[in-house]
Amino acid sequence: MAGGTGSRLSPLTEIINKHLLPVGRVPMIFHPIQKLVEAGIDQILVVTGGNCPDGFLSLIKDGTQLGAKNVYYAYQQGAGGIAAALKLAKDFVGDESFAVVLGDNIFLDSLKPHVAAYEQQPDKGRAKVFLTKVPDPTRFGCPEFDPEDSTKINKIIEKPVHPPSNYAVIGVYFYPPHCV
CA separation for the pair 37, 110 (Å, rounded): 10
Q: Which residues of 97-114 are buried (b: 16+ CB within 10 A; e: fewer)?
A: bbbbbbbbbeeeeebeeb
User: pTM above the 0.85 mark?
Assistant: yes
Rounded percentage of the chain residues whose pLDDT exceeds 90? 71
User: Per the domain annotation, does 41 fall within a domain?
Assistant: yes
User: Per the domain annotation, does 174 fall within a domain?
Assistant: no
User: Per the domain annotation, does 134 fall within a domain?
Assistant: no
Write the pLDDT tens digit of every residue in 32-68: 999 999 999 999 999 998 778 899 999 999 999 999 9
How many domains would you assign to the chain?
Answer: 1
pLDDT above 90 (res 28)? yes
User: Per the domain annotation, does 176 fall within a domain?
Assistant: no
Return the CATH number at 65. Answer: 3.90.550.10
Range(s) of the domain holding residue 121 = 7-129
CA separation for the pair 68, 64 (Å, rounded): 5
Write the pLDDT tens digit of every residue in 130-155: 999 999 999 999 999 999 999 899 99
CA separation for the pair 85, 137 (Å, rounded): 25
Alpha helices in the chain (DSSP H): 30-38, 53-60, 81-88, 90-93, 112-120
